[in-house]
Chains A and B, each alone.
Chain A
Amino acid sequence: MKNAGRSFYIFIIILLAIIGWGGFNWLRFLTHGSGLTGSSDVVPWGIYISGLAYFIGVSAGATIIGLLIHAFGREDYAPMGIRAILLGLLCIFGATQFVLVDLGVPFRGLKVPLILHNLTSLFLISSSSYYGFMAILSAELYFTVKITRGKANERDEKIAKWLGILAVPYALWVVHAFTGSIFGVVKAREMWNTPMLPVHFVISAIASGFAMVILVAVITSKIEKRELLTSETFDHMGKLLAFFVIATLFLDFFDYFILRYSGTKEAMETWHILTRRYTILFVMNIGGLTLAFFILLFKRGRTPNGLLIAASIIQLAIIAYRIDLVSVGQLAPLYPGMGELYYYPTLPEVSVALGLVALIILLYTVLSKIIPMEEIVPEPGV
């Protein structure tokens, strides 16, 4: 691997150690059962399903960059083209791994959807759509890399362009909206069962995905010690991100406003759990998004350093929202008299989740060294 220094290998070894720790704990799940997690019969879904929701959301970043380059002709985003596709592909892959570690009988889960299937299940529809999305992104990656290497003919360029545009409606309408509907259709849970949820999911997915692309752009610029994008492009990115953040905040506000105002018994219980018992997550979600929006309003907030802070805050806020939605959403008791229900992830559970995150970062780091990321412009005078 070229340009690989000592710190690169230390970074890889740290990631491998985290993956090893998580993998070991997953083997314990396989032999002893999932009882080592903090989930229970009353809170069946823990941070793994939150992880699924979060990483599916982040993969939206790939499609947004594709849309900006191919449909809106923003050629200044081109250095992020392949990086965003690779990021989206790895996030979708990571999300499916989050489902796999959550399953009680994981290897039987590989039979879905070909051997075992029930077509009325949104879990089946959305997980099948992930395979389709992975196929589209892989094809897009293949053709874009071919173009970058200068080996593409005109037909390849056309295919790459149309794949980039077609990926957007497929991702937003099928992948993200149906992932939101997994929760939206459950009539037993007050916090989930709202027609707004697919919309909310799509918008917050775009916000977190775009913020993740910005994070990658800024961090890559800092590591490689060069300006990957122009400052004008960073400014444009910041403005777009501010728009996505305020849209997410708007949906958040009205989601909670309607929950609180309607004031049914279950809604009040959910509201109480959200604001009194899991206050940190609630503040992280609403406060984080508000803070990030105000940072992005200023011109200094749209420089690489400002974007680094804002995008990191947005990631934390969206993670908090996903945990609020998935796990805290199940805590309103189904029968009065079941008492106060709690969910806290255990250390083995967290280690497996961290291991998966480390796996995604590792794959990205290694693949970004192997795959040519942008056209190599010969330096003048050489």
Chain B
Amino acid sequence: MKKLNRREFVKLAVVAVPGSLMPQPLKVFNDAVNQILGTKQKSNKYVPKPITNAGFGMVIDLGKCIGCRRCAYACKLENSVPDTISPPYIMVFETGSATGVTGHFPSPERLGKGTTMFYTKLRKNKWYMPVQCNHCDKPPCVQVCPTGASYKDPDGLVLIDYEKCIGCRYCMTACPYNARRFNWWEPEIHHDQMNPLVPMRRHGVVEKCTFCVHRTRKGKTTRCVEACPNKARTFGNFDDLDSKVSKLVESERNFRLKEGLNTEPRIWYLTKPKEKIMRWYRPLPPPKNIRGVKL
């Protein structure tokens, strides 16, 4: 090998040091070409066609939820949610009393790494509130998406086309339910936890709960419903008036999150039937007159 004199060494160093500092320049170039021309693989081929005459939705009975977070963990496995995303699609809030939410579980980001903690029974004076994408009928996220990557299907699902998303995160600021997650890092996931039915995301795109579209459009139920040990969750077709969800939702305990925003969520909650709250309540006598008119 030829020996370098000092001048040549300095020249080489001037070229090599910035070159090695450049983080993978060819990858950047290749990425840029792929992003502009579009990659051949379309993510939508993983998504089955929408089912006609169906309106999917979910009912969550808070009286039955024990806050075990099995739904969150099962969801993570089913949808190949990377460890780099925290919290996963489902967040479970813990409330101290019937009056308000006091906090959510610590360290949800540990879910994928084996330090998951599950509670097996209801703790005293606590109740739980799982939240996720509500698949709204009037979704603000779909309205604001500049590329049309977020879209609403006729069977009620709000989905994201990962090949169209440019990662502007307007949908995340517009979502009143904090349901969307952004891939801030290159997704990291153990190969054992990968589900081949779900397309893998790249860094820089937004993802969220899909109501397990690869299962529900094939006639199965969602994974979180299967995982729930206490059957707090029910998934079904609201358009079918004989379905279980349609019957459940007729309960007087029903409510939806932030209904004042007129987003029409497709997840209905049933409040906890709590006699303690109702103890002070006594039925009022019927009114004798209204505005001076005797009844």
Contacts and interface: CB of A to CB of B under 8 A. Distances in A.
Interface in A140-182: 182
Most chain A C-beta atoms within 10 Å of own C-beta, residue among B94, B147, B164, B175: B147
Nearest to A118: B148
Interface stretch (B26-34, B230-238, B270-278, B287-295): B26-34
Contacts of B94: 337
B157 to A, nearest CB: 17
B178 A337 contact: no
A337 B128 CA distance: 12
A113 B28 CA distance: 23
Given A104-B203, A124-B146, A33 B186 contact: yes
Given A103-B204, A117-B146, A337-B95, A188 B176 contact: yes
Contacts of A343: none
Contacts of A27: 22-23, 25, 28
B140 interface: yes
Interface in B89-115: 91, 93-95, 100-104
Interface stretch (B1-9, B43-51, B166-174, B239-247): B166-174
Nearest to A123: B146
A35 B185 CA distance: 5
B69 to A, nearest CB: 15
B23 A104 contact: no
Given A104-B205, A186-B174, A30 B166 contact: no
Given A41-B182, A104-B165, A338-B104, A33 B203 contact: yes
A192 B91 CA distance: 25
A127 B31 CA distance: 23
Contacts of A124: 146-147
A227 to B, nearest CB: 45
Contacts of B177: 334
B101 A32 contact: no
Contact of B101 (A28, A40, A337): A337
A111 B31 contact: no
B184 interface: yes
Interface in B66-81: none
Nearest to A338: B104
B143 interface: yes
Contact of B205 (A102, A105, A188, A330): A105
A338 B105 CA distance: 10
Nearest to A113: B146
Interface string A39-50: 111101100000
A225 B24 CA distance: 47
A336 B261 contact: no
Interface in B190-220: 202-206
Contact of B167 (A32, A105, A121, A185): A105
B36 interface: yes
A110 B36 contact: yes
B167 A103 contact: yes
Interface residues on chain A, size class: 35 or more
A44 B172 contact: yes
Contacts of A189: 173
A380 interface: no
Contacts of B165: 104-105, 108
A107 B31 CA distance: 8
A103 B168 contact: yes
Nearest to A23: B22
Contacts of B164: 108, 116
Interface string B133-167: 00000001001111111000000000000001111
Interface string A294-323: 000000000000000000000000000000
A34 B168 CA distance: 11
A336 B100 contact: yes
Contact of B146 (A28, A31, A104, A112): A112
A378 interface: no
B166 A116 contact: yes
Contacts of B101: 335-337
A41 to B, nearest CB: 5
B146 A121 contact: yes
Nearest to B102: A337
Contact of A187 (B93, B183, B206, B261): B261
A217 B254 CA distance: 64
Nearest to B171: A44
A171 to B, nearest CB: 21
B65 to A, nearest CB: 15
A40 B85 CA distance: 10
A41 B180 contact: yes
A286 interface: no
B251 interface: no
B51 to A, nearest CB: 24
Given A45-B173, A108-B166, A123 B144 contact: yes
A187 B140 CA distance: 8
B21 A24 contact: yes
B36 A121 contact: no
B116 interface: no
Nearest to B21: A24
A338 B172 CA distance: 16
A339 B104 CA distance: 9
Interface of A: 24, 27-28, 30-35, 37, 39-42, 44-45, 99, 102-113, 116-118, 120-124, 127, 182, 185-189, 330, 334-339
9 contacts: A27-B25, A33-B184, A102-B168, A103-B204, A105-B35, A108-B35, A118-B145, A188-B176, A338-B178
The 10 A-B residue pairs with the shortest CB-CB distance in the complex, in nearest-first order: A104-B167, A104-B204, A337-B101, A35-B184, A33-B203, A188-B176, A107-B35, A116-B147, A44-B169, A118-B148
Given A107-B32, A116-B166, A337-B95, 14 more contacts: A27-B28, A28-B23, A33-B204, A34-B203, A34-B204, A41-B87, A41-B180, A105-B167, A110-B36, A112-B147, A121-B145, A121-B146, A330-B173, A336-B100
